[in-house]
């Protein structure tokens, strides 16, 4: 074994498995979920104290599209949370809350159509041995209920979107502010790094990172996060430059405030709205990218329900006879719903924060 494969073994296989074991433990996941939801809530509460956010909130409340979009997005988050929150059922197994909710739905042998009364198998249309008309949206190749799989896909989408945002937003915001505030060599270095990342065709970069890290929700998030911070960083950098030329920053500096104080007290609150809008719009982009990655064969791990995978398997299923369309359609509609809601929400937020340009 040469040194190269040693690196691969060290960085890829063993460490991810240990990390993976940690992340897949139900307690970790529950804790992470609580922390994430709590974190978002506290952030919103704290931000709500600022005047700008209060004004935006008043405006947002009058925006009907925005409210509807917010409700839809919350519904997705709720379903995703149901699937993420796991409780032990004894014997080392865990089940998600969603599993309890759909516990009565049996698996079939293979494909069955929505409300269909038979399973599509080889020999003959089987006259309803398992009451397949229970399946609202039919079943997929392995006989799993498509509706349940679609609901479970919410979690995958939200986890990828959430983890990725948790990686790229701090990175992008921090580097953007640093570059915009300190300028000079800090700016040069940061510009160099993102210039390099932005020059590589995004999809190739994503895929090579994914090849290194191996399949997994965490790897996808890391890959998307590494490539995704560039856009936000640019935006924040520009806004920081504009802000730091304002009087109040100069005044703060004259008063002898530390850099850290200036950044956290003055600059960060003033770019937060950009971050929020970018978060919402970027989230939809991430969900769409997952579908492309699945097409290229570097999607989520085996056994994880994901819309990208469902759409991808639709490529084969559409060329069967009879056509299996329900798997693709269900996933596409679910994905479309989430992305549309997020996009509309992002727009509404932009309007709320920046009425002139919205």
Partner 1 sequence: MFSYLVRRLLYAVPILLGVILLTFLLFRVVNTPEQAAIHAKGPKSTVAARAEWIREHGRDRPLTVQFAMHVKRMVTFDFEPSDQTKRSMGEIFLKGVGPSLCITLPGFIAGLFAALSLSLYQVFARNSAADRNLTILCVIMMSVPTVIYIIFGQAVLALELSWFPVSGFQWGGLGMLRFLLLPVGIMVIINLGYDARMFRAVFLEEIAQDYVRTALAKGLPVSRVLGRHVLKNGLIALITLTVGQLPKLIMGTLLIESFFGIPGIGNVMVQAIQTADEPVVLATAYLGALLYLAALILTDVLYAAADPRIRLS
Partner 2 sequence: MFRSAGTTLSLLAAALLCGCDNNPHPAPLHQTRPDGSPWIVRYQSMRNDPRSFDPQYTYDQLSRKAIEGVYETLLEYQPMKTDPYELVPCILAEMPVKEDGGLSYVFRIQPDIRYHDDPCFPGGKGREVVAEDMQYVFQRICDPAVESPFEGPFEEYIEGIAETHAAAEKAKRLDYDTMRVSGVEVLDRYRFRLRMKKVYPQILYWFAFQPTAPVAREAVEFYDGQIHDGVRREDFHKFKAVGTGPYRIASYTPRSRLVLERVPGYRTTVFPSDGFPPEKTEWLKTLAGKPLPFIDEVQFIIQPENIPRFVLLRQGYLDGMSVDKDSFNAMVSPVRALSPEFTSRGMSLEKDFEICTFWGSFNMDDPVIGKNPKLRKAIAHAFDGARYSEIFYSGVPPVPTQLLPVGIFGYEKNRPAPFPYDVEKAKQLLAEAGYPGGRDANGNQLELTITDQVSGSEERQRAEFDQRSIEQLGIRVKVNGVTFAKMQDLEDKGDFQIMCGTGWGADYPDPENFFMLFYSKNVPPAGKNYARFRNEEYDRVFEQMAIMDNGPERMALVRRLQKILDDECPIFPSFTKAFYTAVQPWARRTHDNLMYEVEGGLKFLTTDAPMRERLRREWNRPLLWPAFVLGALGLAALLGFIRAVRRTKNQTA
Nearer to partner 1, 124 or 357 (CB): 357
Q: How far apart are CA 186 and CA 261, in angstroms?
A: 18
Least distance (Å) between residue 354 CB and partner 2: 26
| 139-168 binders of partner 2 (CB under 8 A) | 141-142
Minimum Å distance from CB 213 to partner 2?
A: 13
The least CB distance from residue 92 to partner 2, in Å, is 6
Q: At what angle do helices 26-47 and 64-84 cross, to 10 degrees?
A: 160
Supply the minimum distance, in Å, between the C-beta of residue 226 and partner 1.
10
Of the candidate residues 14, 208, 258, 264, the single one contacting partner 1 (CB under 8 A): 208
CB of residue 74 to partner 2, shortest distance in Å: 30
Distance CA 347, CA 334 (A): 20
Q: Which is nearer to partner 1, 190 or 249 (CB)?
A: 190
103 versus 204: smaller Cβ distance to partner 1: 204
Q: Which stretch binds partner 2 (CB under 8 A): 172-180, 227-235, 272-280, 309-317?
A: 309-317
Q: Which residue matches tokens 């520009």?
A: 238
And the tokens for 308?
Answer: 């990208």
* x-or-dash string of contact with partner 2, 220-259, rule CB under 8 A: ----------------------------------------
- Residue 126 interacts with partner 2 (CB under 8 A)? no
- 77-106: contacts with partner 2 (CB under 8 A): 92
Sequence-distant (6+) residues with CB within 8 A of 87 are: 26, 94, 95, 96, 97
The DSSP line for 60-126 is HHT-HHHHHHHHHHHHHHHHHHHHH-EEEEETTEEEEHHHHHTTTPPP-SS-B-TT-SSB--SSS--
Q: How far apart are CA 2 and CA 275, in angstroms?
A: 45
Q: With beta carbons less than 8 A apart as the criterion, state whether 351 and 66 touch.
A: yes
> Cα separation of 200 and 204, whole Å?
7
Residue with tokens 């040693």: 6
Residue with tokens 């970027």: 282
Q: Is 2 in the site for partner 2 (CB under 8 A)?
A: no
> CB–CB of 269/252 below 8 Å?
no
Span of 79-87, 119-127, 202-210, 240-248 interacting with partner 2 by CB under 8 A: 119-127
Rank residues 123 and 199 by Cβ distance to partner 2 and give the closer one.
123
Q: Which residues bind partner 2 (CB under 8 A)?
A: 92, 109-111, 120-125, 141-142, 215, 294, 297, 299, 301-303, 309, 312-313, 315-322
């Amino acid at each position: 074994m040469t040194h190269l494969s040693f690196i691969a073994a060290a960085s890829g296989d063993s460490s991810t498995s240990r990390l993976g074991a940690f992340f897949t433990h139900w307690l970790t996941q529950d804790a992470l979920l609580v922390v994430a939801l709590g974190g978002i809530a506290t952030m919103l509460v704290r931000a709500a104290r600022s005047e700008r956010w209060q004004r935006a909130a008043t405006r947002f409340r009058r925006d009907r599209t925005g409210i509807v979009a917010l409700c839809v997005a919350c519904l997705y988050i709720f379903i995703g949370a149901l699937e993420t929150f796991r409780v032990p059922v004894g014997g080392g197994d865990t089940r998600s809350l969603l599993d309890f909710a759909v516990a009565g739905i049996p698996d079939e042998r293979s494909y069955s159509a929505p409300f269909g009364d038979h399973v599509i198998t080889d020999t003959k249309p089987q006259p309803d041995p398992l009451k397949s008309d229970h399946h609202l949206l039919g079943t997929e190749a392995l006989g799993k209920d498509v509706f349940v799989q679609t609901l479970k896909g919410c979690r995958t989408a939200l986890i990828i979107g959430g983890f990725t945002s948790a990686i790229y937003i701090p990175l992008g915001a921090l580097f953007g502010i640093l570059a915009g505030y300190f300028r000079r060599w800090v700016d040069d270095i940061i510009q160099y790094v993102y210039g390099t990342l932005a020059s590589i065709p995004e999809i190739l970069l994503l895929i090579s990172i994914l090849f290194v890290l191996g399949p997994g929700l965490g790897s996808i998030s890391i890959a998307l996060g590494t490539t995704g911070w560039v856009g936000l960083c640019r935006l924040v950098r520009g806004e920081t430059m504009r802000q730091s030329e304002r009087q109040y920053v100069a005044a703060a500096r004259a008063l002898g405030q530390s850099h850290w104080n200036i950044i956290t007290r003055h600059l960060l609150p003033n770019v937060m709205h950009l971050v929020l809008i970018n978060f919402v719009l970027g989230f939809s982009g991430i969900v769409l990218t997952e579908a492309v990655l699945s097409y290229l064969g570097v999607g989520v791990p085996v056994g994880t329900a994901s819309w990208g995978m469902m759409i991808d398997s639709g490529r084969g299923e559409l060329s069967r006879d009879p056509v299996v369309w329900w798997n693709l359609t269900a996933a596409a509609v679910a994905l479309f719903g989430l992305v549309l809601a997020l996009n509309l929400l992002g727009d509404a937020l932009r309007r709320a924060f920046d009425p002139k340009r919205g």
